[in-house]
């Protein structure tokens, strides 16, 4: 599930468009390209979504709590994210081929985990 480069394929651009649409109504979200070429969405400097191109195409990692991570990994298609999975993150390859409304809900949950409480009340 390693992200290898920016979202520069047709699949990657579709994922980026879907992520922007999902995140546009979340207060104070910033989109950046990190030092590894991943597209990250963060709030107040705390990432809650990381996207990139992996061995199997577009890949997405989402901030989650450890309890939700365990449930998601046990039923798939999610896996524990390498390097940051100990903090609850989950990843999925080719996210647009899976249940996108569920993924949007996970993104909103990740935002709530990362955002200051004053923003989650908006």
Nearest to 114 by CA among 61, 57, 59, 35: 61
Residues 79 and 66 sit within 8 Å (Cβ to Cβ): no
The pLDDT value given to residue 122: 62
Q: What distance in Å separates the CA atoms of residue 36 and residue 102, rounded to the nearest whole number?
A: 27
The pLDDT of residue 81 is 96
pLDDT number for residue 1: 42
Parallel, antiparallel or unpaired: strands 46-54 and 29-33: unpaired
pLDDT at 119: 86
Among the listed residues 53, 27, 33, the one whose alpha carbon sits nearest the alpha carbon of residue 61: 53
As assigned by CATH, the class of the 10-116 domain is alpha beta
Distance separating alpha carbons of residues 104 and 108, to the nearest angstrom? 6
**Segment-wise mean pLDDT, segments of 10 residues, the chain, 122 residues:** 68 96 96 93 97 92 97 97 96 96 98 92 68
> Whole-angstrom Cα distance, residue 14 to residue 81?
22
**pTM for this prediction:** 0.92
């Amino acid at each position: 599930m390693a992200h290898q480069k920016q979202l520069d394929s047709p699949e990657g651009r579709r994922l980026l468009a879907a992520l922007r649409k999902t995140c546009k109504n979340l207060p104070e979200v910033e989109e950046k390209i990190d030092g590894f070429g991943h597209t990250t969405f963060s709030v107040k400097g705390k990432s809650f979504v990381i996207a990139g191109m992996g061995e199997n195409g577009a890949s997405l990692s989402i901030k989650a709590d450890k309890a939700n991570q365990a449930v998601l990994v046990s039923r798939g298609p999610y896996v524990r994210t390498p390097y940051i999975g100990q903090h609850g993150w989950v990843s999925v390859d080719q996210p647009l081929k899976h249940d996108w409304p569920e993924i949007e809900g996970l993104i909103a949950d990740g935002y709530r985990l990362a955002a200051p409480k004053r923003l989650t009340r908006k």
